[in-house]
Every structure is written in C-alpha cells, then in structure tokens.
Structure 1
C-alpha cells in the first residue's frame, strides 16, 4: 500500500467514463460565467461537486437576494466568489456516485467509540443522520428535481461475525444515546423476513455458500447526486457565483512568499487569480495542489453499474428500500430507481472492490476514471441474479447492464474527513477525503468549513462537528495502510 500511496496524484483526467446521471449533461455543464477569468476574488473554491456547491451556498447566505425582475436594480454583491472546475460542472465523485444517502453508523460506531471515545462516536453518528436530513430538506425546500426518495434501507448480512458485531454495536448506540434518538433507530430481521420482505436469498459465490444471517433496516434514502449538485450550483449562480468550468487549478502559491498572511495565487491554464481565501473541495485529487497531502489523502477508484430489472422483480424493480449486501470482506450497495424517475426500476449497483485480488490494491493511488476494471464489471453484472435468486427472473431483452462507469474517491489514514485550515497556511481551507461516504458527510462538513472561514468557530460549532474531523499535525503525519470496512 505504501507504493500505491506514493503515486503522484494528478488532475482529473480528460474524457472520463460518462456516468448514468450525466447522460445527457446539464445545460450549465460547460458554463463560464465570464469569458475572461477574473484576476482576483475574495474566495476561490476549487471543485464543483456537492462540497464546492455547499461551500458556495453557505458563503452566499449573508448576501442580499436578487433584485426583483424588472426592478431596474442591479444585483448587489459583497463577496466575490469564483469556482474553478477542471472538467464539466459536477463531473467528479458527486456526479458519479450511486446516489445513496445512507449512514450505516452502527458499522463504525464501536471503532469510533474505542479510538475516539463514546461521546465522539455519538457525535459522528448524529452528524451523519443530520446531514441526510439537511440534504433532503434542502432539496425539498428549494424544489431541486433530483429524484429524491426518502426511504428505509436494508443491510443484508452474509457473515456471522458481522451479524454479531452489528447487534453489539446497535446495543452500544442505544445505551450511549438519549432514549428515542433517531440516530440509534434500527430494526433487525430474521433470514425468513429477509427472503419474504426484501426478496434476497443465500448467495453462492465462486462455489461457496454465503448464507443470510439476517437484515438490519433503518432510515436512509436516495437521490441523483449530480442533479442535486447542479441544482445547488444554479441557486448559487443566481446569487452571484462566478463558475469557471474546464479551468483546472494547476498550482497554489503565496502571492508574496515572505509574508505568511499574503493572498493566494491560483494558477490555471487560462491565467492566474488571487484570493485571500482558497477552499479546496477536491476530495481524492487534493494532493495534486497540496503536496504535503500526498499519501495523506489517497485517491481510490470505485465502479458502478446501472442494470435493467429482471422480469420477476417485485414492483417492476421499484423496490421500497435501498440495499447493502455485507459479506466477510466487503459489501455492495444497491439503489433501486424510484417510480416516476427516468428509467424507473433500474438497479444501481456499486462496490466489488474487496472481491478483487489483494483486496483491490491496484484501485488505490489511481485517478483514472476514463476506463473500467473488467474484473469488477464482470462481478457487478452477476450480483443481481445471485442476491435475488428466483426473485430476479429473466434478463431484460435489451441486456441486463444499461451503463457502467467509474469515479475517484478520497481516503484518509483514519477513515475520517479532513476539514479546516491547513496548519501553517492561513487562508487555505479544505473539506476533503470522504471515504466514499460523501453523501452523508459533505453538506454538514461544508457548513462547518464556512463557519470556520467566517470566524464562527466557537462553542456552537463545537457542539455538532466532531473534533476528529479537524485537520491537525498529528493526523497529517499518519501513514495510510488501506481502507477499513
């Protein structure tokens, strides 16, 4: 893993695989608000996914609303915010993920409790649920058409150790949290219930039987991360955001290196832009701009398929819950497309990393989302009939797989985001490294980052953002050993 972590991190690559969600691209995919790159700004945000969009939104909340149409009054803008995107708008992990707003906090609670203390573990679990609720509420309040589907999820457990640990972790959460805390609300299901209610069966993989030990259901949901990100960007554009797509940031430097508090200069192929503050929303690509983060935030590649539902699938594939399938060394996640959405009933299936040789070692350290891993492709294609057995039926005449694509995520040594100001680099802010868990972390981490950028980092912020997410020298010194389950 040391060798993979040392591979120099690149910029996002040209001509990536096209995700299911980006077909076709939105009208603002190639937008440049101004033909010429501004020479300066108050804040430069690098990255246009959900983190960058959320940072922009929270920065703009103190801005005046647009003047009424026809009023003859120009928009009043006090903050000059420029967003740089290397490729199309929202073309990174946000526009390429499976759309799962699912915390699964019980899966990490015991480890967090042991390593950070129970109060910190509680705070992380509560934050994850709060993030889901905030994203859902925002999309509803602003009428963002993102196929939002708040619903329960079910984890199908195919390993006894995982089953035993899950029951223990949920008991620990209920003991540690206030009675009735929604972050600790889980329901356990017997193997018979898993078959009857969720249509899943024992799994046969490479000649081995992985039998169902039970299921765990809880609140989650799904949406199109691409449509959500684009929707937030459009709200920000209406408030004065300057978006510059196909404008990669290739380097960062102090404008006056001898002065620690001098502005930052961001170099791009189209010229330079200076700003007092720079916010990196670059996730797995961050070390390209901050060499100190090489091996601290390690990119890794994930792969997803969109599959047409089998002929016997209940509700024509529009299942009532989302799914995860958890086995000894890994898991897959599955998002059924809800009724009323484009391609309703399609099955979005991602994962398979730990079914690869060496637990997917070669998928770490890469930023190549221009191609597929054919071994993962073959594996993911076969997951649906294996998990659903007789409830799958015959494949659609148009073929099982509608689309396949890859995306790049960011992983830290301790499996937690890095949020805050880079030590010793005043004005350089990060909210990055979400371990493939960004849809339940990005929004609230961005909110916390803006609070810190604007000096609101007192007791109120400390009451809900975990200290374990903050960037520290100690965290920057940790060695990356690989991804934990």
Structure 2
C-alpha cells in the first residue's frame, strides 16, 4: 500500500468512461464558461465543481449581506461541470453509522462517535430538504435502506452496535433508529436469497433497516450550480488548475492552460485529485477508483414494481450497494445501480488505489458486478431483459485518508505561507453523507464563525492538521461494525 500511496496524483483524465448519470450531460451547464475569457482576479477561487465546490459557493454567496457585498467567486473545473466523483457515484445517501460507531467510540470516545452519527444523518436530511425547497429535479427518494448481512460475525457485531447506539443516543434519537430483521424477514420482504460465490455458500444471517435515500447526485450538483450562477458565480469549465502558488502579498495564483487567475483565498474541492495541487497531501488523500454498473431488472423483479428501498450486501471482506431508480424518465425502466466489488479484484483491489484513471474499467470487477443481481435475488430475478442485463458501466475517483475522516479547514503550516488556502475533501467514498455539511462547516470557518456553535456539531477530528496529514495510509477503514483490530483493519461502505 505504501507504493500505491506514493503514485503521483494526476489531473483528471480526458475522455472518462461515460457515467450513466451524465448521459446526456446537462446541455446548459456542462461546458459553460460564464465569461469567454478567464478573469485575471477574484475574491475567492473554488477549484472543483462537484457537490463540495457547489455547496461552498452557495454558502459563501448566502453569507453576503449589507455589510458584506457579494463575493466575486470564480469556479474552475478541469472537465465538464460536475464530472468528477459527484457525477459518477451511485446516488446513495446512506450513512450506515452503526457500522462505524464502535470504532469511533473506541478511538475517539462516545461523545465524538455520537456527534459523527448525528452529523451524517443531518447531512442526508439537509440534502433532501434543499432539493425539495429549491425544486431541484434530481430523482430524489427519501426511503429506507436494508443492509443484508452474509457474515455471521458481522451480524453479531451489527446487533451489538445497534444496541450501543441506542444506549448512547437514546432509542428515540433519529440517528439510532434501526430495525433488525431475521433471515426469513429479509427473504420475504426484500426478495433476497441465499447463494454462493466461487463455491462458497452465501447465507443470509439478518438485515438492518434504517432511513436513507437516493438521488442523481449529478442532477443535484448541477441544480446547486445553477442556483449559484443566478447569484453571480463565474463558472469556467474545461479549465484545469495546473499549479498553485502564493506571493509575498498574500495572493494565491492559479495557473491554467487559459491563463492565470489570482485571489486572496482559494478553496480546494478536488477530493481525490488534491495532491496534484498541494503535494503535502500526497499519501494523505489517496485516490481510489470505484466501479459501478446499471442493470436492467430481470423479468420477475420487474413484475414486482419499483423496489421500495436501497440495498447493501455485506459479506466477510467487502460489500456491494444497490440503488433502484425512481425516475420519472420512462427510459430508465426501473434500472438498478450496483456498485462496489473492489475486494473481488486481485489483492482485494490493491491496483485500484493510487489511480486517477477513470477512462477505463477493471475487467475482473466488471465481470463480478455483472453477476451480482441474479445471485442476490435468485429466482426473484427471472430472465434478463432482452436488451441485455448491463445497460451502462463506468468508474470514478474517490479520496481516502489515513484515519478514515475528511480534511476540512485552512491548510496548516508553521507560518503564514498557507493562509487563505482552504480544503474540504477526502470523503472515503462516503461523500453523499459528508460533503454538504463539511462545506457548510468550511464556510463557517472562512467567515470567522469558528466558535462554540460550530464545535457543538462539527467533529474536531475532521479538521485538517499536520499531524493527521503525516499519518501512514494503510487502506480503507471501517467496513465492519466492530472496532478496528490491532492492524487497523476495517472498512467503510461507499455510495
């Protein structure tokens, strides 16, 4: 893993695989340049146009008042608008906080573990409310989810973790509301079957149901960007940031192929690509390529109508996640988004770490993901659609940190050399329940509102620090609902 973490991080690649969500791209914004020429200066430069960049811009624009005029904010995007992880994920707004709660309690203490669990759920509610309040058409579904657990030890751990959360938060706390199901209840209510993989039995041990949701993160991100544009944001697509430097007058200069632009403050919403601009993040934010497929439902499943929940399938070493589409678009036809499967690649996906190449797919993960739906649904899947099971397949680049938490705040340093450089990134494939509130917290810090009110809900462990950046990267954390073992093993579910 040390070797993979040392691979120099590149710019986003040209001609990435076609994301299901961006097919076709939004005609009005995908290649938008608000002004034909790149401005030479701005009050704030935001690099990256995904949910983080859009949410930071939105919150900054809302901070303006009679005493603080509208900021001149310029947003740089290397490719099309919202074409990074936001436009390429599975659309799962799912916290799965019970799976990290024991580890957080063990490492950080119960108060911080509670704070993180509540933050994750609040992010889900905030995104859903924002989409409704601003009429963003993003196929939003506020629904339950089920974790189907195929590993006996993890089923025991899940039950213990849910009990611990109920005790720590209170059984009526929304962040502690989980329903545990028996194997027969899982099979009867969710059409899930026992099965096997490579001759090894996959037996359902139980299920965990809780609130989650789904949406088109691409449409949501584009919707937020359009709101920002209406309030004066200057968006410059196909304008990669090549380098970043600070002069003696405290101005940050960003070099692009179209010229240079300067501002006293720069925000990095670059997630897995951050180390390309700030070498100090090499090994601290490690890119990881994720892979997703869109399946047409089998005949038997299609006959049952749209599935009411999202799913995750959790086994000893890894997981997949599944999002049934609830789109008004009839061409979607109840498509099923299936992602994950990293550990089925050689070395449990080792070669996917450190790569920023989303122009191709891993054929071994591809073959595995194509077979997941009939294996999990068994006879309830039925005959494949005559047009073929797989409708689309694509990859995207996530960002992972050594301790499993995001980096949020102003870049640290022994002197003023990093003053005005802000970051919110490294979401561990968990961005749909972290990005929105992390962006809000970042703007609170930028606007000088970094006090008791922010500390009450934003975890200290999320703040960027030299100590955190110096830690050794050993892979993904927290995929089991149990404290990390002596080797730091564990993992977290993605979207």
So what's the TM-score if we normalise by structure 1? 0.96
Q: Which residue number in structure 2 is paired with residue 108 of structure 1?
A: 100
Cα distance, 1:407 vs structure 2: 0.2
For 2:339 and 2:195, locate their aligned partners in 1 and report how far apart those are by CA, in whole Å.
17
Runs of 4+ in 1 over 6 A off after TM superposition: none
Q: What secondary structure sits across from 1:338 in the alignment?
A: coil
Q: What secondary structure sits across from 2:225 in the alignment?
A: helix
Q: Which residue number in structure 1 is paired with residue 267 of structure 2?
A: 279
For 2:251 and 2:152, locate their aligned partners in 1 and report how far apart those are by CA, in whole Å.
55
Q: Which residue number in structure 2 is paired with residue 14 of structure 1?
A: 14
Cα distance, 1:78 vs structure 2: 2.6
For 1:316 and 1:52, locate their aligned partners in 2 and report how far apart those are by CA, in whole Å.
39
Task: Name the stretch that deviates more: 302-311 or 467-476.
Answer: 467-476
8 A Cα contact 1:335 1:348, kept in partner: yes
Q: What secondary structure sits across from 2:193 in the alignment?
A: coil
> 1:230-276: CA deviations, max 9, x gaps?
000000000000000000001110122xx6xx111111111111111
Q: Identify the match of residue 434 of structure 1 among 419, 427, 432.
A: 427
Structure 2 segments unaligned to the other structure (5+ residues): 478-490
Q: CA RMSD of the aligned region, Å?
A: 1.3
Cα distance, 1:339 vs structure 2: 5.5
1:243 aligns with 2:229: no
Cα distance, 1:369 vs structure 2: 0.1
> 1:208-243: CA deviations, max 9, x gaps?
101000000000000000000000000000000000
Q: Which residue number in structure 2 is paired with residue 69 of structure 1?
A: none
For 2:208 and 2:303, locate their aligned partners in 1 and report how far apart those are by CA, in whole Å.
21
8 A Cα contact 2:95 2:212, kept in partner: yes
For 2:243 and 2:327, locate their aligned partners in 1 and report how far apart those are by CA, in whole Å.
45
Q: Which residue number in structure 2 is paired with residue 73 of structure 1?
A: none
Q: Which residue number in structure 1 is paired with residue 290 of structure 2?
A: 302
Q: Which residue number in structure 2 is paired with residue 127 of structure 1?
A: 119
Q: What secondary structure sits across from 2:138 in the alignment?
A: coil
Q: Which residue number in structure 2 is paired with residue 409 of structure 1?
A: 398
Cα distance, 1:77 vs structure 2: 5.8
Q: Identify the match of residue 140 of structure 2 among 134, 137, 148.
A: 148
Q: Identify the match of residue 289 of structure 1 among 277, 299, 318.
A: 277
Q: What secondary structure sits across from 2:396 in the alignment?
A: strand
Cα distance, 1:316 vs structure 2: 4.8
Cα distance, 1:178 vs structure 2: 3.3
Q: Identify the match of residue 332 of structure 1 among 307, 312, 320.
A: 320
> 1:386-444: CA deviations, max 9, x gaps?
00000000000000000000000000001110000110211000000001000000000
Q: Which residue number in structure 2 is paired with residue 231 of structure 1?
A: 223
For 1:230 and 1:64, locate their aligned partners in 2 and report how far apart those are by CA, in whole Å.
25
For 1:194 and 1:254, locate their aligned partners in 2 and report how far apart those are by CA, in whole Å.
57
Structure 1 segments unaligned to the other structure (5+ residues): 66-75
Q: What secondary structure sits across from 1:197 in the alignment?
A: helix
Q: What secondary structure sits across from 2:212 in the alignment?
A: strand
How many positions carry a matched residue from both structures?
471
For 1:255 and 1:238, locate their aligned partners in 2 and report how far apart those are by CA, in whole Å.
32
> 1:98-127: CA deviations, max 9, x gaps?
000000000000000101111000000000
Q: Which residue number in structure 2 is paired with residue 394 of structure 1?
A: 383
Cα distance, 1:64 vs structure 2: 6.5
